Amino acid sequence: MTVDIGDFTADPTGDFTGWLRDFEGAALLRRTWGDPDWSRGARLDPALVRSLQRFQVGEDGDGAFLTGKAGWAGDPVYAAAVRLFVAEECEHARLLARLLEAAGAATLRGHWTDAVFVRLRRLLGLRLELMVLMLAEVVALAYYRAVRDGAGDPLASEVAGRILADELRHVPFHRDRLRLSFRRSSRLTRAVAAGLWWALLAGVVAVVVADHGGALRAVGVPGAAFVREVAARFHGVVAGVMWPAGRRAGARTTGARTAGARTAGARTAGVPAAGEGTGAARSRGDRGTVG
């Protein structure tokens, strides 16, 4: 296995403490919220069931290779945050499995797209693995938003909203680490890397639209609209990694941004974030969209 951690060892004291606290806080909130009410059951379009089965396979896994590479990078705080990120991905797999069960559907043992994706990631060093992983995370933002808003089933909308809340934090988490890895790269290197990254995204999105087109139509999202949303989100990611304002190192620097991401994510999920359950925010009608 190739282990290319590149620039990640250059600054082992990069401050990811804010991100670690963010993941710890999110875990506490999940324990506070508890599970959705699975007894409600779920009525899902057959195409959406097949799609969710494939996404459930993609969310599952122990993340041993990623956590191992993060540990070798020399930053124990970042490594601890990655372990909690992996735990959230496993939680997503569990939620999707329970949703499928509520809909009377089984989970899959595997799917070829996930097998290819996992094998590719395992062959890469940490920086390249995160770049490939980011493609899946950006696609997930558009996918779970579409399911949350268009599934037409309260339980499916709640599960998708909870997962989306986490994904809204995962993307900037990986962006910050990738930004740190490119901080000493020349403009030419960053431009070439950005171009190749976009090319990979084009391939990934083409596969997703072909494989999940029926589900997207079932939730009211045309394939072209899905592609546009993914591209718009990815544009911001690439800019944040390759050309950050002032070329900052980019590790999480303030607790305020950490709390803001968690609050925004909780609103997306339809549950109150820490400190939002009562008071002025709720009196203004600032409530979740599902649940």
Local structure of residue 285 (DSSP, 8 states)? T
Local structure of residue 40 (DSSP, 8 states)? G
Q: Which domains does the chain have, with CATH numbers?
A: 6-283 (1.20.1260.10)
| pLDDT at residue 129 in the model | 87
Query: Residue 5: pLDDT above 70?
Result: no
| pLDDT at residue 185 in the model | 94
Q: In whole numbers, what is the pLDDT of the chain averaged over residues?
A: 80
| pLDDT at residue 123 in the model | 57
Query: Residue 137: pLDDT above 60?
Result: yes
Span 259-271, mean pLDDT? 43
Q: What is the pLDDT of residues 88-129, one digit of tens each?
A: 999 999 999 999 999 999 998 755 565 565 565 555 678 888
The burial of 113, by beta-carbon neighbours within 10 Å (0-12 exposed, 13-18 middle, 19 or more buried), is given as middle
3-state secondary structure of 13: coil
| pLDDT at residue 15 in the model | 84
Query: CB of 113 within 8 A of CB of 183?
Result: no
- Cα–Cα distances (Å) from 64 to 10, 72, 79, 236, in that order, read 23, 12, 12, 29
| pLDDT at residue 6 in the model | 35
Query: Residue 151: pLDDT above 50?
Result: yes
Number of H-type helices and E-type strands within the chain: 11, 0
| pLDDT at residue 110 in the model | 56
Q: What is the pLDDT of residues 159-200, one digit of tens each?
A: 999 999 999 999 999 999 999 999 999 999 999 999 999 999
